[in-house]
Structure 1
Amino acid sequence: MPTLIRQLEADDLAAAGELARLAFGSAPSTAPPSTDPRPGITGYGAFDPDGRLVGKAVDLHHEQWWAGRRVSASDVGGVAVLPEARGRGVALALLRELLRGARERGAAISALYPTVTGPYRRAGWEVTGALRAVDLPTVALPRHRPAPGLTVRPGGPADLGATADLYERIARHRCGLLTRRGGVFDRDQPPTALPDGVDGLTLVERDGRLVGYASWQRGRGYDQHAVLTVEEVLASTPEAARELVGVLASWQSVTPTVRLWSLGTDAVATHLPLEQVRQHEQRIWMHRPVDVVRAVRSRGWPAHVRGLVDFALTDEIAPWNSGSWRLEVDGGAAELHRIPDEPPTQLSVRGFALLYTGAADGYAVAEAGLLHCPAGTDPGALDLLGAGPRAELLDYF
């Protein structure tokens, strides 16, 4: 167990970079290590009695959209522990301190992409979704006559602001998607090039207003192994979605496969031959509350949902979340109040994550052993905690 857990400082960044290289298998860098802290990021380090860095974790100061409202998030990345220090509670100690610091700066919720789920489950996160890349045969994509009133054109760096605005219009009424504003997303100057890894940007406009876009990477070759990788494809109207799918279909003579990341249900998905989807890659993600009161108060709730439910919550890693609570939802808002008596319904923090994100209902959470109700009590009453769209992510971090 390390003797010290603290925030990383400029002098620690070289050691942190080397630890990340060893943990994640990246190639050695010939560039001098950066000593400048990045905006919107707080790094935490675990140090042994000799002052050696033996573990690290990064708090990403993201915001997520939850039904029309911005929710402050502590998304976690870059968790790594030296092999000689593994199995000694280093990661758990780091995550405990990260959550404490995230709460102090105002974060409400947290998401992460695990390489292994066990340590994060012990720290209160639970698997609540997956970011999936799928492959489709290009020849199977439908093509239609161009829709009247729409303009389809290639885009450039000057159009990235418009694509960010369209992403926000689509994302804000969903749950879990990053706002892509502030912190690491801020730019000092307007972009002069497309993002790294993006070869092209296809725009669909109506009366000069952007209604759809696709960013893509051409890849190599033009034989049976060639793949067009669509980094993002979003549309705010069915006509725009159909135009974008038609543009992707036009690649069939040189890229027999289209690979894309998409939302589970959106305008684009309704135009894809989903019966021919083959999964290329899946990256599961996990969720937990940082502060349950903020998590409930700061998100949006369906305006037509009203109700209340009492439950007792256990959270060993973030003890400020533990206790007896009453959830009240009314008219698009909700509050979590402490109550004096302990309710018979007992919920773990992992169960809270499953319900809050809409990943499971009360019956499934009870069957998983993360919710305990007395005989004759309906576990479905806790479904109130997950009212609204199921959470999803489009960004990997």
Structure 2
Amino acid sequence: MTTEFRVLRPADWDQWYGTLELAFGGAADSSEERALWRELTCFDRSIGAWDGGEVIGTAGTLAFRMTVPGGDAVPTAGVTMVGVRPTYRRRGLLREMMRRLLDDVRSWGEPLAVLTASEPAIYGRFGFGAATHSLHATIDTTRVRVTVPPGTDASDGAEGVRLRDSKPEDARDACEAVYARRVAARPGMLVRQPGWEKQPLLDPPDKREGASPLQCVLAEVDGEVVGYARYAVRGDWDLAGPKGAVVLRDLEALTPQAYAALWRFLTEIDLTTRITTTNRPVDDPLLHLVSDIRRCEIGVRDSLHVRLVDVGAALSARTYRTPVDVVFEVEDDFCPWNAGRWRLTGDAKGASCERTDDAPDLALSVRELGTAYLGGVSLASLAGAGRVTELRPSALEEASSAFGSTVAPWLPHGF
């Protein structure tokens, strides 16, 4: 096999994307989906593997900015659209494409790469670690009620939270303004780049699985939009009556009152008996609003996988919950420029991470650093699994406390 790797050209996109569809089972996306993903493709950051005139592999990165602990938005490469034609698997194409992508990301000065994995076992060998998790739930709304905090409802002359239906397209700018104010509050969230405001509204009929078109409800206080929920309703009946489901797409709010009001609304929609949601933070306040957590069928799965492309720059880009001064012995076979000893010093105001010859305090691979980077997985937990080795007494406790985040990191949408 003679393989040529080259930067994606607009004229080749249809064939390139068709290979990606084939790699994921062969079902073609709708014209609506294809149009959006073509618009969002960064052609100069995407590559194709070619065998003669045939595209046999696809991969690319997107130019994101991701919130890290401390609230800063750090340049981050979003690895996406990775696929290999089924008849060309197990020939090293994925490894070669990842090699080229990470070399490019380094040359662009972006310290982090992230991805969502179709199969989580694939990307650990390239230094990615599962740094965020998502909560999924099916809430029995015949048995569960939402308790709202004081100030949610109008009383004593106060207006409270007002809910208003809107067409999703008409409410887009208001929803994006709420989302933008939420981004800095939680590590793992992505600053919406131009064009990405269309992604939450993507609603091809063949992907609805019997549900209604996308709907939107806005939460307002004194005429200002302070929250929103986008959802669909899947109707269903049996001999006992209606048993429809509310399918929640996304929900954000700026105040606890607006947040609770939106959830209460969703649990009380007529002709429905449950809410399904597949991507909420693992520390979602909803867990403390519902009357019976056992009726919510809570589950958790991996979400965002993080890879430190430049260990020094990445660890310097975030802050640390408690003061830290620790030397890491880092193993990184795939990006050897990261391997060796790094001294991290920092606190809640800032940090520095530089090369050092000092004795190491902790030994780990770059995968563990990626897993712990956003503060959702503790270094102590990884040490319990044998993936971090303490070389200086108390170093593990110090570093594990410092890396923590007040709120769980969370990726609100895929890419």
Tell me, yes or no, whether TM beats 0.5. yes
After superposition, give the CA deviation of every residue in 1:32-60 in whole Å (9 maximum; x if it has no partner). 987x9635622222234x46432211212
Alignment correspondent of 1:220 = 235
After superposition, give the CA deviation of every residue in 1:83-115 in whole Å (9 maximum; x if it has no partner). 232222211111121111122223222222212
In 2, the alpha carbon distance for the partners of 1:143 and 1:366 equals 39
Q: CA deviation at 1:31?
A: 6.5
In 2, the alpha carbon distance for the partners of 1:370 and 1:395 equals 29
1:365 to 370, 382, 395: 382
* 1:396 is the counterpart of 2:414: yes
Query: Structure 1 231/171 Cα, relative in aligned 2: closer, same or farther at 3 Å?
Result: same
In 2, the alpha carbon distance for the partners of 1:316 and 1:85 equals 25
Query: Structure 1 384/146 Cα, relative in aligned 2: closer, same or farther at 3 Å?
Result: closer
In 2, the alpha carbon distance for the partners of 1:268 and 1:322 equals 42
Q: Does the 8 Å CA contact 1:234/1:268 hold for their aligned counterparts?
A: no
Secondary structure, in 3 states, of the residue corresponding to 1:178? coil
Alignment correspondent of 2:117 = 114
Q: Does the 8 Å CA contact 1:74/1:110 hold for their aligned counterparts?
A: yes
Alignment correspondent of 1:69 = 72
Report the AA paired with residue 297 of structure 1: S
Query: Structure 1 240/344 Cα, relative in aligned 2: closer, same or farther at 3 Å?
Result: closer
After superposition, give the CA deviation of every residue in 1:336-383 in whole Å (9 maximum; x if it has no partner). 111134626322011111221224333332333332334856433432
Higher mean alpha-carbon deviation, 258-267 vs 313-322, is at 258-267
* 1:80 is the counterpart of 2:98: no
Alignment correspondent of 1:351 = 368
What is the TM-score with the length of structure 2 in the denominator? 0.82
Query: Structure 1 143/377 Cα, relative in aligned 2: closer, same or farther at 3 Å?
Result: closer
Q: Does the 8 Å CA contact 2:6/2:47 hold for their aligned counterparts?
A: yes
Report the AA paired with residue 152 of structure 1: L
* 1:326 is the counterpart of 2:343: yes
Gaps of 5+ in 2: 205-212
The residue correspondences of 1:1-397 to structure 2 (distance < 5 A) are 3-28=3-28, 38-39=39-40, 41=42, 42-48=45-51, 50=52, 52-66=54-68, 67-139=70-142, 140-142=144-146, 146-148=153-155, 149-150=159-160, 151-156=162-167, 157-180=169-192, 182-185=193-196, 195-196=202-203, 199-223=214-238, 225-251=243-269, 253-260=270-277, 261-272=279-290, 273-279=292-298, 282=301, 284-302=303-321, 305-341=322-358, 343=360, 345-374=362-391, 378-383=395-400, 386-389=403-406, 390-397=408-415
Higher mean alpha-carbon deviation, 18-27 vs 70-79, is at 18-27
Secondary structure, in 3 states, of the residue corresponding to 1:57? strand
Report the AA paired with residue 185 of structure 1: W
Query: Structure 1 52/344 Cα, relative in aligned 2: closer, same or farther at 3 Å?
Result: farther
After superposition, give the CA deviation of every residue in 1:202-239 in whole Å (9 maximum; x if it has no partner). 11111122222211112234555521111112222222
Q: CA deviation at 1:19?
A: 1.2
Q: CA deviation at 1:325?
A: 0.7
In 1, the alpha carbon distance for the partners of 2:375 and 2:272 equals 37
Query: Structure 1 183/289 Cα, relative in aligned 2: closer, same or farther at 3 Å?
Result: farther
Q: What is the percent sequence identity of the aligned residues? A: 25
In 2, the alpha carbon distance for the partners of 1:43 and 1:325 equals 32
Q: CA deviation at 1:324?
A: 1.4
Secondary structure, in 3 states, of the residue corresponding to 1:309? strand
Q: CA deviation at 1:3?
A: 4.2
After superposition, give the CA deviation of every residue in 1:238-258 in whole Å (9 maximum; x if it has no partner). 22223212211221x411111
Report the AA paired with residue 171 of structure 2: D
Report the AA paired with residue 7 of structure 2: Q
Higher mean alpha-carbon deviation, 150-159 vs 116-125, is at 150-159
Query: Structure 1 29/168 Cα, relative in aligned 2: closer, same or farther at 3 Å?
Result: closer
Report the AA paired with residue 57 of structure 1: A
Q: CA deviation at 1:332?
A: 1.8
Alignment correspondent of 2:210 = none
In 1, the alpha carbon distance for the partners of 2:8 and 2:236 equals 44
In 1, the alpha carbon distance for the partners of 2:197 and 2:172 equals 13
Count of residue correspondences: 388
Higher mean alpha-carbon deviation, 101-110 vs 272-281, is at 272-281
Gaps of 5+ in 1: none
Q: Does the 8 Å CA contact 1:141/1:245 hold for their aligned counterparts?
A: no
Q: CA deviation at 1:141?
A: 2.6
In 2, the alpha carbon distance for the partners of 1:210 and 1:31 equals 32
Report the AA paired with residue 171 of structure 1: V
In 2, the alpha carbon distance for the partners of 1:371 and 1:2 equals 41
What is the TM-score with the length of structure 1 in the denominator? 0.86
Q: CA deviation at 1:308?
A: 0.9
Secondary structure, in 3 states, of the residue corresponding to 2:39? coil
